[in-house]
């Protein structure tokens, strides 16, 4: 089955005090975790919701489980879409933007969980802050393992980064403040659809969506934060968080290259590009070299030019890394 299926149309509309919120759930082979995720969506206390579930051509029976869940729980207004091939998270989210009607939207992977009051708490905060001027609101969250148990050392991520009522997380135009950080997670965010569309949605040339999208959004729109723990991110053995593949580092280099040139924090961008380039070079120097040749040497810290070109001349990865080590000591 492909395309949108819907057993009925929601009668909910956008209103000033209770804006329509869309929940976008993305599934790929999440059959083990589906029920808990779908329960967390169904149990939201906020009422003016629409739900869109996109299955990215799962091979483990996930879509059938979703259909059964919707039928058994009489969720006729939930929209279901099954892709005809495996698609990236960015492709799925751009499709979602074309289908949803909410003023704000929530993204959730079908192995994660959101607190029952998540949408209600964040909508109330948005209304209190004149929500039409805000692009994104985020919150605290914790990591859980494959069985749903808390990972003790990965609880309350915002608090782990030192934020509290006396030291609030960044709000306003926060680009330079969040650059190079990882404490704003998609699962915690409620995002303005209008704002997302105005920046062109998600970059389908990248293997993951959140860092680049959040940085681009932060340049144009205000962010606000709440300290409540409102979401639970599941760590699974094959997740991008765990594996950090070559694709991850290629995408990370490319995304930071997109954000160079902001005068007040360009040196920080260059450090980030160089850091992820260094890691990629150690994993696959030829992939790193492609990025270097597609960029300007001025986009990197100075030592990158020398050891990369040393590798181009010699083809010797280990010699190039030793040369880099010497250069960094001299510099």
Question: Where do the structural domains in the chain lie, given as residue ranges?
Answer: 3-236, 244-330
Check: CB of residue 163 under 8 Å from CB of residue 227: yes
> What's the rounded Cα separation, in Å, for the pair 329 and 323?
10
Percent of the chain's residues with pLDDT above 90: 85
Q: Which of 8, 4, 2, 118 is nearest to 74 (CA)?
A: 8
Contacts 24+ apart (CB under 8 A), 287-292: 287/246, 287/249, 287/250, 288/253, 291/250, 291/253, 291/254, 291/257
pLDDT, tens only, 41-70: 999 999 999 999 999 999 999 999 999 999
Mean pLDDT (the chain) is 92
Give the pair of three-digit tokens for residue 253: 């280099």
Question: pLDDT tens, 223-270?
Answer: 999 999 999 999 997 766 566 789 999 999 999 999 988 888 999 999
For residue 2, pLDDT beyond 60: no
The H or E element spanning position 57 is none
- Helix axes 246-257 and 285-293, enclosed angle (nearest 10): 20
Q: Identify whether the C-beta of residue 229 lies closer than 8 Å to the C-beta of residue 159.
A: no
The string of pLDDT tens digits covering residues 108-153 is 999 999 999 999 999 999 998 877 789 999 999 999 999 999 999 9
Q: Which helix (H) or strand (E) holds 268?
A: helix 266-283
Mean pLDDT, residues 85-100 taken together? 97
| Residue corresponding to tokens 């149309």 | 9
Average pLDDT of the segment spanning 27-44: 98
Maximum distance among all Cα pairs of the chain, rounded to whole angstroms: 68
- 3-236 classified as CATH 3.90.550.10: yes
Residue 262 confidence (pLDDT): 84
Number of neighbours of residue 61 by Cβ within 10 angstroms: 12
pLDDT at residue 132, rounded to an integer: 75
Contact status, residue 284 vs residue 296, Cβ threshold 8 Å: no
Q: What are phi and psi of 229, to 5 degrees?
A: -80, 110
73 in helix, strand or coil? Answer: coil
- What average pLDDT does range 161-179 have in this prediction? 96
Measured distance CA(273)–CA(204) in Å, rounded: 20
| pLDDT value of residue 238 | 72
Which pLDDT belongs to residue 243? 66
Q: What is the pTM of this model?
A: 0.91
Q: Is the pLDDT of residue 104 over 60?
A: yes
Dist. CA 236–CA 242, nearest whole Å: 7
Residues sharing a CB contact under 8 Å with residue 98, sequence separation 6 or more, in sequence order:
none
Question: Which one-letter DSSP state was computed for residue 295?
Answer: S
């Amino acid at each position: 089955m492909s395309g949108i299926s819907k057993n009925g149309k929601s009668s909910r509309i956008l209103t000033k005090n209770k804006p329509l919120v869309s929940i976008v759930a993305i599934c790929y082979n999440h059959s083990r975790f589906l029920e808990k995720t779908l329960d967390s969506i169904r149990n939201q206390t906020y009422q003016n919701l629409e739900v869109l579930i996109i299955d990215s051509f799962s091979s483990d029976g996930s879509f059938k489980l979703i259909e059964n869940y919707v039928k058994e729980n009489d969720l006729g207004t939930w929209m279901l879409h099954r892709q005809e091939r495996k698609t990236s998270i960015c492709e799925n989210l751009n499709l979602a933007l074309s289908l949803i009607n909410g003023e704000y939207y929530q993204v959730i992977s079908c192995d994660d969980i959101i607190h029952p009051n998540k949408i209600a708490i964040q909508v109330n905060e948005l209304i209190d802050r004149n929500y039409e001027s805000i692009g994104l609101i985020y919150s605290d969250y914790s990591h859980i393992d494959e069985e749903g148990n808390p990972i003790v050392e990965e609880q309350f991520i915002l608090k782990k980064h030192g934020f509290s009522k006396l030291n609030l997380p960044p709000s306003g135009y926060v680009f330079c403040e969040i650059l190079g950080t990882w404490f704003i997670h998609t699962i915690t965010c409620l995002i303005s659809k209008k704002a997302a569309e105005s920046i062109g949605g998600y970059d389908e040339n990248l293997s993951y969506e959140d860092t680049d999208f959040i940085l681009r959004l932060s340049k144009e729109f205000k962010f606000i934060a709440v300290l409540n723990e409102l979401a639970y991110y599941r760590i699974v053995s094959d997740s991008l968080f765990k594996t950090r593949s070559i694709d991850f580092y290629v995408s990370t280099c490319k995304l930071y290259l997109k954000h160079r040139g902001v005068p007040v924090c360009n040196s920080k961008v260059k450090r980030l590009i160089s850091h992820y380039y260094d890691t990629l070079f150690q994993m696959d120097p030829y992939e790193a070299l492609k990025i270097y040749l597609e960029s300007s040497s001025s986009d990197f810290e100075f030592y990158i030019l020398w050891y990369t070109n040393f590798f181009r001349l010699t083809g010797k990865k280990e010699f190039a890394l030793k040369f880099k080590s010497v250069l960094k000591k001299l510099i």
